[in-house]
Amino acid sequence: MSIDINGISPNKIHGPPDESQVKQQVQKQPVQPESGRSSTADTISLSDNAVSLGKLNHTVETSPVIDTQRVDQMKKAIADGSFKVDAEKVADKMMKFESILTSK
């Protein structure tokens, strides 16, 4: 007995596709390269703070981590005995640092 539902005959009805049929269908589909662009025009707006942070980040990334010229000057001054330590200045800075640590 044959049943015709909405114009679909039993000859056209199959079970779920097997793996080879799925692979064939996928291979037949044209590959569309990704453009990386949205189909609509997207815009963003950065705050002044964000722009400033971006510039600061660039400055930090391009700056040397160590001031090699200053290090060489210090090495030379220590080596030739011209480097002098101002004990009072060091003590003042230590006291200021200590007060910052204990104030929290």
The average confidence (pLDDT) of the chain is: 79
Q: What is the pLDDT of residue 19?
A: 66
Q: Domain of 77?
A: 66-104
Q: Within a domain: residue 53?
A: no
Q: Within a domain: residue 89?
A: yes
Taking only the tens place, the pLDDT of each residue in 40-86 is 778 888 898 989 999 999 998 988 788 889 999 999 999 999 999 99
Please tell me the pTM assigned to this model: 0.33
Q: Within a domain: residue 59?
A: no
Q: Within a domain: residue 70?
A: yes
Dihedral sign for Cα 27, 32, 34, 37, please: negative
Higher pLDDT among residues 12 and 103, named by residue? 103
Secondary-structure percent of the chain, ordered helix, strand, coil, rounded to 5: 55, 0, 45
Taking only the tens place, the pLDDT of each residue in 7-42 is 665 555 555 666 666 566 555 555 556 666 656 778
Domain count of the chain? Answer: 1
